[in-house]
A and B are shown apart, each in its own frame.
Chain A
Amino acid sequence: MTILNSKIPEGPLSEKWTRYKENVKLVSPANRKKLDIIVIGTGISGAAAASALGELGYNVKVFCYQDSPRRAHSVAAQGGINAAKNYKNDGDSVYRLFYDMIKGGDYRSREANVYRAAEVSNQVIDHFTALGVPFARDYGGTLDTRSFGGVQVSRTFYAKGQTGQQCLLGCYSSLNRQIKKGTVTMFPRREMLDLVVIEGRARGIITRNLITGEIERHSAHAVVLATGGYGTIYYLSTLAVNSNPSAAWKAYKRGALFANPSFIQIHPTCVPQLNDYQSKLTLMSESLRNDGRMWVPKTKGDTRNPNEIPEEERDYFLERRYPAYGNLVPRDVGSRAVKERCDAGYGVGKTGLAVYLDFRDAIKKQGKKAIEDKYGNLFELYKTITGKDPYEEPMMIYPAGHYTMGGLWVDYELMTTIPGLYAIGECNFSDHGANRLGASSLMQAAGDGYFILPNTISNYLADQIKTPRIPVNLPEFEESERSSIERLEKLLAVNGRETASSFHKRLGKIMWDYVGMVRNEEGLTKALSQIRELREEFWKNLKVPGSINGLNQELEKAGRVADFLELAELLVIDALNRKESCGAHFREEYQTPDGEPLRNDKEYAYVAAWEYTGHGNPPVLHKEELKFEVVEMKERSYK
């Protein structure tokens, strides 16, 4: 049985990372060249890691399924990236950023990791600025910041509504520099199909060339997963539509533990679903809540034009329920409040599944130009999608699946339970507990990739310098390749009548209805049996045209949906196990009389890490107890 050792260094919280770095084993520059590292993913975490490892002189291979690394899902992040610079002189510090993340995560994350993420945040901003990322600036030439949901300081750096794009392109540029130098080799349009484990260590991967269909073997001394989140389990979400959990899921099935799978953040402000064919829900950045006010009419079913509804007939429900934070409450709190109003019949729009986000007062106070400077492109985006102009009438918004706090379990070194396999960025579970604070994911992804992993991986690789390059003709490679091909053939052989997307959509509905913003035992139990039925149907009635050879997008989709159908079950099992409400995980049975989540620290202050025990067997739960040495666990109040 796997034993969880989180390897948290000794010493006071604020000195752990420094001490760790002082004592970590190093690899000499001459030896680095002899060590191969595979990085899967070119989002902010993967591209950052690959470039930093390349700079150190390791021999790096990077993979992504898009046609170019620049298109990884990180490109879509909008609002900003946090750092504890305290440029605004408003009392910010590394400690306060750490504290906000621990509190925001509802006390379900590991203190030492979170502190370190906050600690390296300033280096991340320095590095991006040096790479030429065009962050917003003030007239004196210094960097500007804004405040972002769930905190009281202004620490979010931004590049209009394209912060993710600009940070990702920064990472892409540093990656390109290494590709030019020859330290990094890029493999785009490749999908990782399996992880190769030899004598208990991660030693390589099997990929499919998405153009030729060729199945390829790649070996390395260490493998880094930077494969992003699985919010697309709801089918409709704010993620890029091809985002998927398959790489992490394959690692799970090869022995890596999967932590807190049911912790998924639902983002309160997204463009509501307009029609049945819709393939994605577009996020309207949280930054909008700095100036936008959320409201619904005080009367049920009020169909008047919102501009005609007078002030006293509007219910600014966030300001009413949470006077201290108002419209800036964290995402989980905001999402549930929106759902509560809509379920109670006060929702607006054609479906009643929407609330207003209104800029009228901000435009009046600051002028249209100031609002345009801050949110111009978001307003345009909204208009492009809906045909409505938010300068003239309030936006309509509704929550959507957005970010997965859960992911592969990693220790302080970001290593999974398989030696030599690392997980960074959104695909690990480490820093956001049960709810992520806005603008802290880009920060974590970049911190993991540029500053943390390159230090921790040497602790492992130092013992590998005597291991020669791993040959790809070992039996383990043969076995992984064979089972990958068999699986593709199995998908093709079903030859039923329903498309992979159609199954995905049906799964999404089950997940959204029973494993979304609000969960309860009855619904979860129902979801479990429905997922199992759907999975059976999938393997009986799936239709995939074409063959393994050549470009076959339906086959790609089918493989991912098959994994979603397995992960979905683990998600429900995790949600059933956690008999408390915390962060994004709201169990109806556990709430205060006024509808706020009720945590149970005595029994559930742990990370739930699940172990795969073979096809058809129930997963085994391992608990990592969370010890809070610095922060006191408190009720998370935003009132």
Chain B
Amino acid sequence: MKLTLKIWRQKDSKSKGRFETYHMENVSPEMSFLEMLDALNKRLVEEGGDPVAFDHDCREGICGSCGIYINGHPHGPVPGITTCHLSMRYFNDGETLWVEPWRAKPFPVIKDLIVDRSAFDKIQIAGGFISVDTGSAPEANSIPVRKQNADMAFDAAICIGCGACVAACKNASAMLFVSAKISQFALIPQGRIEAKERVRAMVEKMDELGFGNCSNTGACEAECPKKIKISNIARLNREYYKAY
């Protein structure tokens, strides 16, 4: 199929960006979106042009590297998947695609479609851990965990840190991302011990880095490729109130 791509090009964090138009012929419906960009880049390099920069690594929806805003949706129009899993079979011949980086103040653009998401690491550094030194762990089965809780903790823990929730939110809130970690640890006994310190530190860091507040529109949940539930945000709020 044939496609018209309107891609955001920006040389570096200081330059101003703009949309450039590219025409793609022979796009196979079996390609992934990133493979389509590979094909474009191959052409651009061979023609002596500047390839489009984008982050990617695992290409199977688990590392959280990729993340492109396509036609107004983070990771594209298909719910529940990452950009690397977005198959071109979801698009129609002749369509025009608008391709942009995440747009959020705490995620400045580095180049083209690559943004700086180190703010997410900073939030995790603030408190996203259980303080246990290597060698001091008790025997694994000595602390039983209710299966239902373990399963819910798992469902929260599968967040890949991609940042789509922030990109989807009109307030650039990181609540879904933070609530996923808080929930994982709040639901199991190992994590309860420093639950108060954790939630305070992570929320404080999130605010300090300029992420906005949650106004409950649910855009994050709708766009999250891992279907992290917004009910985690309610748990985050409960944990936060309990911590003071």
Contacts and interface: CB of A to CB of B under 8 A. Distances in A.
Interface in A367-405: 381, 384-385, 387
A502 B42 contact: yes
Contacts of B12: 550-551
Nearest to B59: A280
Q: Which of A75, A85, A130, A172 has the most CB of B within 10 A?
A: A130
B45 A543 contact: yes
B141 A87 contact: yes
B134 A51 contact: yes
A384 B150 CA distance: 26
Interface in B28-66: 28, 30-32, 34-36, 38-39, 41-42, 44-46, 48-51, 53, 55-65
Nearest to A138: B147
Nearest to A500: B45
B129 A142 contact: no
Contact of B125 (A135, A179, A545, A553): A179
B134 A554 contact: no
Contacts of A76: 58, 60, 62-63
A543 B46 contact: yes
B129 A176 contact: yes
Given A134-B153, A160-B154, A274-B30, A180 B125 contact: yes
Interface in B129-173: 129-141, 143-147, 150-151, 153-154, 157-158, 160-161
Nearest to A125: B140
A24 interface: no
Contacts of B129: 131, 173-174, 176-177
Nearest to A186: B121
Contacts of A454: 134
B42 A501 contact: yes
A67 B55 contact: yes
Contacts of B31: 275, 277
B51 A545 contact: yes
B83 interface: no
A122 to B, nearest CB: 8
A66 B116 CA distance: 11
Q: Which of A128, A211, A451, A497 has the most CB of B within 10 A?
A: A211
A277 B137 contact: no
Interface in A71-98: 71, 73, 75-76, 85, 87
A450 interface: yes
B35 A142 contact: no
B137 A130 contact: yes
Interface string A614-625: 000000000000
A113 interface: no
A501 B38 contact: yes
Given A71-B63, A502-B42, A142 B144 contact: yes
A277 B240 CA distance: 48
Contact of A137 (B28, B64, B81, B150): B150
Contacts of A211: 110
Interface residues of A, number: 82
Contact of B130 (A73, A131, A180): A131
Given A68-B120, A275-B31, A176 B57 contact: no
Given A71-B65, A76-B63, A501-B42, A132 B57 contact: no
Contacts of A52: 134
Contacts of B118: 67-68, 188
Interface stretch (B97-105, B185-193, B231-239): B185-193
A11 interface: no
Contacts of B210: none
A136 interface: yes
Q: Which of B50, B58, B124 has the most CB of A within 10 A?
A: B58
A66 B57 contact: yes
B83 to A, nearest CB: 12
A554 B42 CA distance: 10
B117 interface: yes
Interface stretch (A33-41, A162-170, A308-316, A460-468): A162-170
A471 interface: no
B114 interface: yes
Interface in A274-308: 274-275, 277-280, 282-283
B51 A551 contact: no
Contacts of A384: 61, 81, 85, 87
A67 B118 CA distance: 7
B214 interface: no
B54 to A, nearest CB: 8
Q: Which of B30, B36, B185 has the most CB of A within 10 A?
A: B30
Interface in A97-131: 123, 125-131
A179 B120 CA distance: 14
A514 B66 CA distance: 33
Given A67-B55, A127-B134, A188-B118, A166 B50 contact: no
Given A165-B62, A279-B34, 15 more contacts: A48-B134, A70-B121, A70-B161, A76-B62, A123-B135, A126-B137, A142-B144, A143-B140, A180-B125, A280-B60, A384-B81, A387-B89, A499-B45, A543-B46, A550-B12
Interface of A: 48, 51-52, 55, 66-71, 73, 75-76, 85, 87, 123, 125-132, 134-143, 159-160, 162, 164-166, 169, 172-174, 176-177, 179-180, 186, 188, 211, 240-242, 274-275, 277-280, 282-283, 381, 384-385, 387, 450-451, 454, 497-499, 501-502, 543-546, 550-551, 553-554
Which 5 pairs across A and B sit closest by C-beta, in order of nearness?
A: A141-B144, A130-B137, A173-B129, A134-B154, A129-B140
7 contacts: A68-B120, A126-B138, A126-B140, A131-B190, A169-B157, A180-B126, A278-B35
